[in-house]
């Protein structure tokens, strides 16, 4: 590298707008290992939806502890959102 060249920034160090990540970028961040739990109303009853990190619906549980346990049972990291 000569004195006038600029070193390339590794992909992991580049700033990303997480609202606009591609499927490939999500996969690189471990999206298949993260799921989130979100409180929802289903047929007038409070429930807890389980979604993959990319927003794909996966399941619904009757309580938060059950939702978190289901995520952990599948060796994923649970995250709670409101």
Among 49, 60, 52, 59, which residue's Cα sits nearest to residue 82?
49
- What is the pLDDT of the chain when averaged over all its residues? 79
Question: Does the global pTM surpass 0.75?
Answer: no
- Within the chain, which residues score under 70 in pLDDT? 1-19, 21, 23, 26-31
Beta bridge pairs of residue 48: 39, 61
DSSP secondary structure string for all residues of the chain: --TT--PPPPGGGS---GGG--HHHHHHTTGGGEEEEEEEEETTEEEEEEEETTS-EEEEESSHHHHHHHHHHTT-EEEE--
What pLDDT does 80 receive? Answer: 83
User: Tell me: the pLDDT tens digits for 12-23?
Assistant: 445 556 567 676
What pLDDT does 68 receive? Answer: 95
């Amino acid at each position: 590298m000569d004195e006038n060249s600029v070193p390339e920034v590794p992909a992991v160090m580049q700033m990303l707008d997480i609202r606009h990540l591609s499927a490939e970028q999500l996969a690189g961040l471990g999206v298949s290992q993260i799921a989130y739990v979100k409180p929802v109303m289903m047929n007038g009853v409070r429930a807890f939806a389980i979604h993959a990190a990319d927003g794909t619906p996966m399941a619904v549980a009757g309580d938060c502890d059950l939702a978190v346990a289901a995520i952990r049972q599948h060796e994923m990291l649970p995250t709670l959102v409101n």
